Amino acid sequence: MAAARVSVSGRGLCLLLTAVLCSVHYAGALDVYGPNELFVENGTHAKLPCTFKSTEVTSSTTSIKWTYTEEGSSSAGIVIFYFINGKQYPGQQPHFKDRITWAGDINDKDVSIKIDKITFKDNGTYSCIVMNPPDITSTPKQIKLRVVEKDNLPLSNVPFLVGIICAAIGGILLIAIIVFAVVITKKKRSKKNYTGSGDGGQTESLMSPVKQPPHRSPSDIEALVMGVPSGTVQGPVIYAQLDHSGPAGCQINKSETVVYAHIRKDC
């Protein structure tokens, strides 16, 4: 019976530990964010950005710890900065003395720090560790700091984004210009075709042979002359040739019924 009691007690203890671990895991829903790598110009200052997300509100018990691991070292790192209860405590490492200051806002869950007078000796890995009870379990965010000369700094993303925006605007404008040119060309062609069809009839009329007036016989001309009304309208002029070879007093007769007629005296 005693052995049975021990067995039951052991089983209950296992269940209790499982429940505790699950509750701790649930309570430790805390995530820390920051860049994986940071390039800084030699001789300037560096802001190591770090933020966190927690299911609990921040309080005086919220604590932040920054550690530094020298490049190429496999050690756990040394504490270079500590923040708790609204107060900051710089580390005692001579290399970072009087160079690290608080650059965050705990109410906004910003736990960044700033390092002044950056040199090549500051290359290494900086870890941001956050605890916000009861969220006490989180993975530290590690940031690799690369100190380089000004000419070796990577290009900023801002010019790249500006270039993409300008290229997009230029592409839209180019498409609009092409569409406008196509519309104008179609309108000109349509107008040209319409004008050409109208001129075609006129050209055909001008190029057609000129109709000559019908040939009139002398009798027709005489009828035309006799039928001209009197008045201000001037009709055709009749030229006549007089024959004065006959004696005076002779009757003048018209020899031919033409426009150019010979008129003579009959004696």
- What pTM was computed for the model? 0.50
Kindly state whether residues 117 and 161 are assigned to the same domain: no
Distance CA 55, CA 133 (A): 10
* Structural domain includes residue 140: yes
* Residue whose structure tokens are 């209790």: 16
Which token pair is 230? 């009197």
Written as one string, the DSSP assignment of 19-85 is HHHHHHHHHT-EEEE--SEEEEETTS-EEE--EEEESS---TT-EEEEEEEETT--S--EEEEEEET
- Say if residue 57 is in the same domain as residue 148: yes
| Residue 182 in domain | yes
Domain membership of residue 53 (yes or no) is yes
Judge if 162 and 146 occupy the same domain. Answer: no
Answer yes or no: is 130 within a domain.
yes
* Token pair belonging to 178: 């092409």
Give me the domain span that covers residue 53.
26-154
In a shared domain, residues 168 and 108:
no
Q: What would the pLDDT profile of 50-65 be if each residue is shown by its tens digit?
A: 999 998 899 889 999 9
| pLDDT tens-digit map of 228-244 | 555 555 555 554 554 55
- Same domain for 167 and 149, yes or no, is no
Structural domains of the chain, count: 3
- pLDDT confidence tier of residue 246, bands split at 50, 70 and 90: low
